[in-house]
């Protein structure tokens, strides 16, 4: 097929309205740089002409993943879909589809979702043909209403595919996904990764991105639409696990290597990631509330309640500050929250180079190292004289029984506690405020009274 003919056909079938990528409007400092690879300069794609019935069989048997999470929704009109069916019946060339073979011998669609879904929907009798110019006799008919000859012709119609093997270098795999997708909305890096690097850690990223405290911490609902929230979680996990010292190439390769290496970690490692993430989320909320990881729009009149803060999350600021909390005790962070916040204000007001490093060329190795080093040193100085929380957090059952035997009065409602199992022993001074787990800091209360105590008590 001639190139100009292929382009014309794609213009007929693809969504007529080009969708503008809004990513840069909702996420700042997200530059990952280029992807360096030592793989061969050419990519091997196997060519095959397959019948529509074979594609349908693959789909019915779950061997063809037609609509993975990263793919844009089906957007064709019934008129566009009908013209595709007519083209098959008239032997008019149809643009090829691109597939990727997975390690479990399945196929995922890189490009061609609209065409394949149209065929399958029509075979399933989900729409009637409409707006046909040549086969007008078929207008208003569903697949099962076609005569047997026409049904057979359609089933035997072929669609050319180019298939990328599963043993392709992950970096090349990423580049192919990045360049071949021709949908109205170009896939961003995280949407591509969501397809290529399937596994337990990818599932964990999805889970963590929906954490209620994390959503509150980001305070930017638009991040969820194109997986930008998951991209932030990935950055945390990669820098938490490997540290910025391992980011010797561009950031894009660093993130891809993490997903490839830790695709299916042990359950113990999954639990570690989850605990670290929740710890950093609580720490971030404590220090920054719902306005963290942002830069100022103007040099003056910054207020914690919003004011001159940018409405966009800065990914470079996020990966540095959010990850830095993993190495410090939550009690220390809580008692030093105001100092940490003020130190961040001082940093962005006085260190122009640091601010420039999180705004431009954020994937460059030396600039990334400066961002991490500078902030981690500031945070260390703030917390160096602040004691950690008591390592023992829970009072013993023996102490609870001793205090119950001495007095059965609830320290909150001042009524009698009838049974030992109805009582709970808690810190008089909150643990997270530095209250130690010693008898002098223990108080006996009804279990339900204690639950209603609240974080400000």
Q: What is the pLDDT of residues 181-200, one digit of tens each?
A: 655 556 788 877 877 777 89
CB atoms within 10 A of CB 103: 10
Give me the DSSP letters along 146-191.
S-HHHHHHHHH-EEEEEEE-TTS-HHHHHHHHHHH--SSS---HHH
Q: pLDDT of 347-384, one tens digit each?
A: 998 999 999 999 999 989 999 999 999 999 999 999 98
What is the distance between the alpha carbons of residues 221 and 244, in angstroms, rounded to a whole number?
28
pLDDT of amino acid 386: 79
CB atoms within 10 A of CB 140: 11
pLDDT class of 65 with cuts at 50, 70, 90: confident
47 beta partners: 162
Is the pLDDT score of 63 beyond 70?
Answer: yes
What is the distance between the alpha carbons of residues 35 and 48, in angstroms, rounded to a whole number?
29
Q: What is the mean pLDDT of the chain?
A: 82
pLDDT of amino acid 12: 42
**pLDDT above 90 coverage of the chain, percent:** 46
Is the pLDDT score of 457 beyond 80?
Answer: no
Q: pLDDT of 286-295, one tens digit each?
A: 999 988 999 9
Give me the DSSP letters along 308-371.
TB-SSEEHHHHHHHHHHGGGS-HHHHHHTHHHHHHHHHHHHHH-HHHHHHTTSSTT-HHHHHHH
Return the CA Rg of the chain. Answer: 29
What is the distance between the alpha carbons of residues 318 and 213, in angstroms, rounded to a whole number?
15
Per-residue DSSP letter, 434: T
Span 435-442, average pLDDT: 77
Query: Residue 51 is encoded by which pair of tokens?
Result: 């019948």
Is the pLDDT score of 426 beyond 60?
Answer: yes
Q: Are 125 and 144 in contact (CB under 8 A)?
A: yes
């Amino acid at each position: 097929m001639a190139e100009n003919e292929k382009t014309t056909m794609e213009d007929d079938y693809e969504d007529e309205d080009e969708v503008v990528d809004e990513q840069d409007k909702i996420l700042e400092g997200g530059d990952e740089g280029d992807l360096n690879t030592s793989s061969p300069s050419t990519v091997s794609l196997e060519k095959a002409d397959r019948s529509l019935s074979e594609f349908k069989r693959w789909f019915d048997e779950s061997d063809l993943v037609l609509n993975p999470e990263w793919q844009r929704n089906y957007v064709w009109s019934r008129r566009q879909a009908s013209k595709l069916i007519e083209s098959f019946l008239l032997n008019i060339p149809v643009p090829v589809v691109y597939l990727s073979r997975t390690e479990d011998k399945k196929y995922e669609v890189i490009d061609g979702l609209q065409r394949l879904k149209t065929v399958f929907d029509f075979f399933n009798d989900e729409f009637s043909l409409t707006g046909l110019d040549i086969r007008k006799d078929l207008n208003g008919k569903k697949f099962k209403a076609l005569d047997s000859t026409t049904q057979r012709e359609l089933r035997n119609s072929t669609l050319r595919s180019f298939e990328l093997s599963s043993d392709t270098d992950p970096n090349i795999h990423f580049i192919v996904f990045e360049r071949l997708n021709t949908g109205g909305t170009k896939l961003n890096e995280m949407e591509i990764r969501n397809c290529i690097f399937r596994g337990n850690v990818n599932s964990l990223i999805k889970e963590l991105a929906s954490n209620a405290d994390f959503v509150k911490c980001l305070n930017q609902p638009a991040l969820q639409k194109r997986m930008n929230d998951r991209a932030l979680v990935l950055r945390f996990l990669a820098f938490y696990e490997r540290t910025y010292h391992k980011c010797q190439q561009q950031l894009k390769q660093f993130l891809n290597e993490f997903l490839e290496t830790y695709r299916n970690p042990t359950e113990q490692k999954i639990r570690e990631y989850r605990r670290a993430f929740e710890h950093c989320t609580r720490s971030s909320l404590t220090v920054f509330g719902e306005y963290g990881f942002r830069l100022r729009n103007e040099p003056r009149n910054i207020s914690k309640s919003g004011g001159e803060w940018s409405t966009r999350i800065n990914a470079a600021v996020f990966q540095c500050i959010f990850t830095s909390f993993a190495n410090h005790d939550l009690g220390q962070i809580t008692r030093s929250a105001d100092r940490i916040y003020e130190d961040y204000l001082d940093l962005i007001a006085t260190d122009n180079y640091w601010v420039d490093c999180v705004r431009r060329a954020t994937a460059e190795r030396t600039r990334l190292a400066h961002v991490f080093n500078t902030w981690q040193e500031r945070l260390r100085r703030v917390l160096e004289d602040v004691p950690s929380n008591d390592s023992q957090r829970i009072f013993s059952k023996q102490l609870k029984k001793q205090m119950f035997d001495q007095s059965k009065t609830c320290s909150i409602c001042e009524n009698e506690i009838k049974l030992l199992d109805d009582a709970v022993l808690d810190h008089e001074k909150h643990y997270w405020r530095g209250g130690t787990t010693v008898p002098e800091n223990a108080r006996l209360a009804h279990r339900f009274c204690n639950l209603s105590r609240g974080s400000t008590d």
